[in-house]
């Protein structure tokens, strides 16, 4: 079959037009460099071979993006900005001025090929966004999020449309009908807040689990749903007006009818089918590949259906994605299989290739069209800020938080750029350039302002003391215990059992099951006492609930259990932990150590993300924190208080002095109230300690004196021993002799405390979050067979 030829016009310069002959269909593969005498750029350099050109474009785009991001991330600039800047550099504004570069990078056919590829990636990106979204949030959202989302969408849209009456006056701007239509499109685009952009912003700033982040996500979902149907209705109306009042009304009504039928089919056919797939998947097993392939096939077909309806090509895939339940097992399986290729390869290429079309020389502020669009852009931006700020303040949100929320909902990103590239077919080059630069400036400024103005950790500071030392006698000890995996359950329960909960000294236990968020974009926080209904992620908390409710039943009226489940990104889990500890007035927070050992002492597993979480909590916790290192057997649950001495559970406290050690002593004194527990306090002192009296040492001696008077007697199993340790090696020798005599060792973290007893030991510390002594006992060199609890007293207190 012979190739056809089509003559196309290409604007080479502002004053010169050139005829370009394009071969259709183009060759896909190149004949190779040797056929052209080694001229690499000649082989397909004129755009006649599309695949080599596509490879060059992708390689240059990714290389330029990574170089820029490596530089800009130091200033807190998101990667989206680097992708846009890469497009500007590779486009006609910079490198495109080089003729040899433009010959093989900016050819017409190559732009069509890369445009088709990236549009496919963008449609799949929006499908996966629909999979990640939890549409039920709209139904159970609070009044604050609902009002904020509605007003943040409608106020800027209404004010922008009202300003069009002023901008379209002939005396002010001379605009054609096409220009006015573009202004309407700009007003709708500028007034929207897209959920993917907001979720990406909050994720990069690690604010997804903060109170403001959750409100922003809920409001963004409301905005996104409103914007989708508003833009669909506007597209139908514009098509009807273009075809005439009579000729366009019937096709418009038909399209609207089929859209409603499609939405009905998604809700009442596709959604039950997805739930059936989940029911067919055994618990803990992956979803069958055949189901995943079928879902992706239907997603592609829905994109074709969108074209038939003369709607946005991503309308069908996005709505269909909402039918897939987010999270495991189905949503997470789709994300795990397809998200990397879409989000890390095709989507960045989509951003860069669309900015590649921008030539800053096309934009002139002397043009009436540019002036009108710039004015409308300023009006819509200001209206967006006001439309978000006012309802937030009306709902009694602090002024600073309301300002930050308005900045978050005004953020622009890949969805707004996609709307320009896919829906703005009639936009002039100068208007397109203006709106692209507006998105670029917005994406640069908003993250920096939000990061500077909003500090979630501030709410943990300046509160009253919440620790074990300050509790009154016979008062409730409120403990927040974190659970990552089933291995943590028995260790935490046995430690709580050792804390001697009784009717006179009750324990209020708050259990937080932490699940890393995957396959969904919205974090969840579930209170199982308040919410009895089954949620997709609650199934993974069944074992946790059963174990701790049994623990509550064993200690009737002495322990009250309040279970929670948090599904969130690992780098934001500390927000949920600290917020819950703050809201529930917890005095002690228990964190499992990130490393697990087998019975023979070898390392079974370790999770660096849990270690990072523990460090973040230690830095921000509004109460005392205990890190539980499970290296040996803890006491048997439900052990009777009348147990014999032979079955006593042996606990030892290593006391060197300092507020952390005093907090650990206060906790172990509660254990000493249980006659089935044998408690020994080892006070490691140096001969020079008495020569340097200070307030801290006075408090140490007073705490030890109170312990001896209250618990050390002939008929009690509480002991006190003083050991002299002049330096680090002597401390190591003492600890080696005692570690395997006990089932549980309690130590203070003693951060940044230097004493003669630990001199030189910090150089060998592997895990600073355990402190010098705790890290040394937990090390493999000690071959310890007991569990270790490292205690840190509350850091943030009022002065």
| Average pLDDT over all residues of the chain | 79
8 A C-beta contact, residue 573 and residue 514: yes
As a whole number of angstroms, the distance between CA 454 and CA 443 comes to 17
Mean of pLDDT values over 115-132: 86
Asked if the model's pLDDT at residue 316 lies above 60, the reply is yes
As a whole number of angstroms, the distance between CA 173 and CA 372 comes to 7
Number of Cβ within a 10 Å radius of residue 340: 10
Q: Helix count (H) and strand count (E) of the chain? A: 27, 15
Whole-model pTM: value is: 0.78
8 A C-beta contact, residue 634 and residue 490: yes
Asked if the model's pLDDT at residue 141 lies above 70, the reply is no
Mean of pLDDT values over 7-22: 47
Q: Indicate the burial class of 477 (C-beta count within 10 angstroms; 0-12, 13-18, 19 or more).
A: buried
Angle at 96 between CA 95 and CA 97, to 5 degrees: 90
Mean of pLDDT values over 271-286: 85
Pairing of β 588-592 and β 477-483: parallel
**Of 597 and 668, more confident:** 668
**Of 539 and 397, more confident:** 397
Pairing of β 588-592 and β 624-629: parallel
Asked if the model's pLDDT at residue 12 lies above 50, the reply is no
Mean of pLDDT values over 777-784: 81
- Best-predicted range by mean pLDDT (254-268, 465-479, 549-563): 549-563
378-392, 463-477, 635-649, 700-714: range with lowest mean pLDDT: 635-649
**Of 176 and 677, more confident:** 677
362-371, 511-520, 659-668, 769-778: range with lowest mean pLDDT: 362-371
State pLDDT tens for residues 41-95: 444 444 467 777 788 888 888 999 999 999 988 888 889 999 999 988 888 888 8
As a whole number of angstroms, the distance between CA 201 and CA 196 comes to 9
As a whole number of angstroms, the distance between CA 324 and CA 320 comes to 7
What pLDDT shows up at residue 67?
Answer: 92
8 A C-beta contact, residue 464 and residue 798: yes
* 24, containing H or E segment: strand 17-24
Is 772 in a helix, a strand, or coil? helix
State pLDDT tens for residues 351-371: 988 888 788 877 777 777 788
Asked if the model's pLDDT at residue 547 lies above 60, the reply is yes
What pLDDT shows up at residue 626?
Answer: 93
8 A C-beta contact, residue 630 and residue 593: yes
- The rounded percent of the chain whose pLDDT value lies above 90 is 9
- The rounded percent of the chain whose pLDDT value lies above 70 is 83
Confidence of residue 533 (pLDDT cuts 50, 70, 90): very low
Asked if the model's pLDDT at residue 21 lies above 70, the reply is no
What pLDDT shows up at residue 628?
Answer: 92
Burial of 401-424, coded b for 16+ CB within 10 Å and e otherwise, reads bbbbbbbbbbbbbbbbbbbbbbbb
- C-alpha dihedral sign at 137, 143, 149, 150: positive
What pLDDT shows up at residue 107?
Answer: 67
Residues found in the chain: 799
186-190, 448-452, 607-611, 729-733: range with lowest mean pLDDT: 186-190
Is 793 in a helix, a strand, or coil? coil
């Amino acid at each position: 079959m012979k190739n056809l030829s089509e003559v196309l016009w290409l604007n080479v310069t502002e004053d010169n037009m050139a005829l370009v002959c394009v071969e259709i269909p183009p060759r896909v593969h190149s004949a190779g460099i040797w056929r052209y005498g080694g001229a690499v750029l000649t082989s397909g350099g004129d755009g006649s071979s599309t695949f080599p050109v596509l490879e060059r474009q992708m390689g240059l785009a990714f290389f330029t993006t990574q170089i820029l991001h490596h530089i800009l991330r130091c200033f807190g600039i998101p990667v989206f900005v680097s992708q846009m800047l890469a497009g500007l550099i590779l486009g006609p504004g910079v490198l495109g001025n080089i003729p040899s570069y433009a010959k093989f990078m900016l050819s017409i056919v190559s732009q069509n090929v890369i445009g088709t590829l990236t549009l496919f990636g963008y449609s799949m990106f929006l499908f996966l966004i629909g999979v990640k979204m939890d549409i039920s949030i709209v139904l159970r959202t609070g009044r604050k999020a609902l009002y904020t989302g509605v007003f943040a969408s409608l106020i800027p849209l209404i004010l922008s449309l009202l300003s069009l009456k002023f901008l379209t006056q002939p005396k002010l701007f001379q605009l054609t009908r096409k220009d006015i239509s573009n202004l309407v499109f700009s007003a709708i685009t500028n007034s929207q807040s897209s959920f993917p952009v907001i979720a990406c912003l909050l994720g990069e700033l690690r604010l997804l689990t903060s109170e403001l982040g959750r409100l922003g996500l809920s409001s963004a979902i409301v905005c996104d749903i409103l914007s989708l149907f508003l833009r669909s209705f506007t597209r139908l109306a514009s098509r009807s007006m273009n075809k005439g009042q009579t000729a366009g009304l019937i096709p418009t009504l038909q399209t609207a009818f089929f859209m409603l039928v499609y939405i009905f089919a998604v809700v009442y056919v596709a959604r039950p089918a997805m739930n059936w797939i989940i029911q067919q998947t055994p618990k803990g097993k992956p979803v069958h590949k055949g189901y995943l392939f079928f879902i992706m096939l239907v997603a592609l077909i829905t994109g074709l259906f969108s074209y038939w309806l003369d709607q946005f090509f991503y309308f069908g895939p996005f709505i269909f994605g909402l039918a897939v339940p987010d999270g495991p097992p189905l949503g997470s399986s789709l994300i795990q299989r397809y998200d990397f290729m879409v989000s890390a390869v095709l989507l960045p290429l989509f951003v860069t290739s669309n900015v590649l079309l921008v030539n800053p020389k096309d934009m002139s502020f002397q043009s009436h069209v540019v002036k009108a669009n710039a004015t409308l852009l300023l009006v819509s931006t200001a209206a967006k800020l006001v439309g978000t700020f006012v309802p937030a303040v009306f709902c009694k949100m602090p002024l600073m938080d309301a300002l930050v929320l308005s900045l978050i909902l005004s953020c622009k990103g890949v969805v707004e750029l996609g709307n320009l590239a896919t829906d703005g077919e009639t936009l002039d080059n100068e208007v397109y350039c203006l709106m692209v630069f507006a998105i670029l400036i917005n994406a640069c400024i908003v993250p920096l302002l939000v990061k500077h103005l909003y500090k979630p950790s501030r709410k943990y500071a300046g509160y009253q003391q919440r620790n074990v030392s300050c509790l009154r006698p016979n008062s409730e000890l409120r403990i927040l215990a974190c659970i990552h995996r089933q291995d943590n359950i028995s260790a935490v329960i046995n430690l709580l059992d050792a804390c001697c909960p009784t009717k006179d000294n009750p324990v209020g236990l708050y259990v937080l099951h932490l699940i890393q968020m995957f396959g969904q974009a919205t974090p969840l926080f579930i209170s199982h006492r308040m919410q009895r209904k089954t949620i997709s992620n609650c199934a993974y908390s069944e074992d946790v609930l059963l174990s701790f409710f049994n623990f509550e039943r064993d200690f009737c009226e002495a322990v009250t259990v309040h279970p929670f489940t948090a599904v969130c990104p690992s780098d934001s889990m500390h927000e949920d932990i600290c917020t819950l500890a703050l809201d529930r007035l917890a005095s002690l927070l228990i964190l499992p150590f990130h490393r697990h050992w087998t019975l023979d002492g070898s390392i079974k597993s370790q999770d660096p993300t849990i270690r990072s979480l523990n460090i973040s909590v230690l830095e921000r916790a509004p109460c005392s924190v205990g890190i539980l290192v499970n290296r040996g057997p803890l006491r048997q649950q439900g052990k009777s208080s009348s147990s014999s001495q032979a079955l006593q559970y042996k606990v030892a406290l290593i006391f060197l002095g300092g507020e952390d050690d005093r907090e650990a002593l206060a906790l172990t004194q509660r254990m000493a109230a249980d006659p089935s527990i044998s408690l020994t306090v080892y006070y490691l002192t140096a001969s020079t300690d008495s020569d340097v009296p200070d307030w801290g040492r006075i408090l140490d001696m007073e705490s030890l004196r109170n312990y001896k008077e209250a618990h050390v007697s002939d008929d009690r199993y509480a002991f006190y021993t003083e050991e002299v340790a002049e330096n680090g090696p002597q401390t190591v020798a003492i600890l080696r002799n005692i570690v395997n005599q006990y089932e549980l060792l309690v130590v203070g973290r003693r951060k940044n405390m230097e004493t003669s007893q630990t001199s030189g030991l910090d150089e060998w510390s592997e895990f600073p979050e355990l402190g010098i002594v705790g890290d040394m006992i937990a090390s493999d060199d000690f071959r310890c067979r007991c569990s270790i609890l490292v205690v840190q007293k509350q850091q943030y207190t009022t002065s």
